[in-house]
Amino acid sequence: MVKDIHQKTSLPVNLGEQTSLTTVRVMISTLWGGSSERSGDLIEIRKRLDEFVRLIGALNVSDILPVFAPFDLQGIVSKPKEHLSWFYGIFESVIMKRINEKKITDKFSKDFLQQMLKLNQRGDDKTSLSIKGVKALLLDMMIGGTDTIPTTIEWAMTELLRHPDKMTKLVEELDTVVGNENTVEGSHLPRLVYLDAVVKETLRLHPIAPLLLPHVPYETSIVAGYTVPKHSRVFINAWAMQRDPRLWDDPLGFQPERFLKSNTGYPRNNFEYLPFGSGKRICVGVALAEKMVLLLLAVLVHALEWKLPDGRKPDIHERFGVVLKKMEPLVAIPFARLSNPHQYQ
């Protein structure tokens, strides 16, 4: 990613697109070890994932006027099915290739796909996983990772560019911990406490899933005096809770320092701060998402200095959907910070 951006020094860069392509590449490598996908293939995957997520969160006229449901006027049913078929075709090819490779070479891989295929081959109806289930899980992981991670980074960079003092503080921490002669590595992350606070504050102000995911109770329950019927669909407004002035000082301000004073992380039982959900249904990919966001954001800020074109101010208007994205993509101009050109290779 840094190599690609370094080649665009002094030119406007769409940060959302750049980090999204990197995230897709990392997720593919994590899920099935793919590393040879061409740039055009990555762009197509990203575009289809973006469109799929947009359609999931789109307002469906048929929900309000069911009489129109058979006509699918907006294509909200047919278009996702088309994308689903396309992704399943890719997954089918990858799965069959992996199965054939194992038969020929008995090659062992520790990626996510290999673990899913082990479950598929158990032969136990209670614990085995069908190939259809494997493909569904691969799609869930792709959707969950490739949209939320770059969106978080884009919001973080937006807030840092809006608050130069916070950017300066983060740069100073990176220079102290990493140094100007090194590149950011995973081993540096535990000591980058202000970076961690920046990400946590970004997720407080801009939770990626503002209403989390819908939950359905198996039985009628009473919560805070309210009756919640069984099988009803429940949405939790994390966006409002994390900006509640009764819970947060200066709730609309970008203040990463608030997370330096507390041990608040991503706990399972904290209902004031829940960007990844809470309880048993907390996001299963929270550890991967956290590490990727921290690492990618650290690399962007450590290796490059960022400025806005023509002295513009970054736009913070939101575009509502399943994922809370910026209304206008963040476009910024990078400049090299490091003196050694080999650090950009």
Q: Which residues make up each annotated binding site for heme?
A: 283
Cα gap 175→282, rounded to integer Å: 34
Residue 207: how many CB atoms within 10 A of its CB? 26
Binding residues: 283
Residue of 35, 37, 55 whose CA lies nearest to 45 = 37
Cα gap 75→71, rounded to integer Å: 9
CB 179 within 8 A of CB 339: no
CB 57 within 8 A of CB 323: yes
Residue 248: how many CB atoms within 10 A of its CB? 18
Residue of 258, 256, 290, 260 whose CA lies nearest to 275 = 290
Cα gap 53→145, rounded to integer Å: 12
